Amino acid sequence: MVRRERGFTYLTALFVVAILLGGLALAGEMWQTSAAREREADLLFVGNQYRRAIGLYYNNTPGAPKRYPRALEDLVKDPRTPTTQRYLRRLYADPLGAGEWGVVRADDGGIAGVYSQSDAAPLKEAGFRVRDAAFEGAAKYSDWRFIFAPAGAAPPPAAKK
């Protein structure tokens, strides 16, 4: 009879271990999804910071023809003014870790917008703010283009690096 009890105890221990491993796998998946949502929220924040900075640069252009920045570094320190004019505190890295930002070029050769070069599928598919409404239904993060278009002007063409 002692032999039977050992087998039952062993079987119970195996079931407990299996249940614990299943719980750990579920917790790991939830953590991974949570981290992806956080990176996605950071992408929306940082991308809109670039869009806002490009708009400020464009609108603060001295003289008649308004211009987009030639390089992202121009948003940190505007080379057109004798005093230090900053539209961003620093250049932000792509939160998705896809390397350098992709840039959308305007007709004058300046940078009208940025985008992540990540080909991953976004978790968020709907419910965007009005400024980001074009992101709905995007198949990958690189389709999320943070472009500044002046009021009454057509948005710049597709991205060119």
Taking the CA atoms of 81, 86, 88 and 89 in sequence, report the sign of the dihedral they define.
positive
Question: Model's pTM, two decimal places?
Answer: 0.77
Flag whether pLDDT at 68 surpasses 50: yes
Average pLDDT over residues 3-11: 70
Give the tens place of pLDDT for each residue, 8-50.
788 888 888 888 888 888 877 888 778 889 999 999 999 999 9
Average pLDDT over residues 136-143: 92
What confidence score (pLDDT) does residue 160 get?
A: 44
Give the tens place of pLDDT for each residue, 79-121.
888 888 999 999 999 999 878 999 999 988 999 999 999 999 9
Longest dimension (CA), the chain: 97
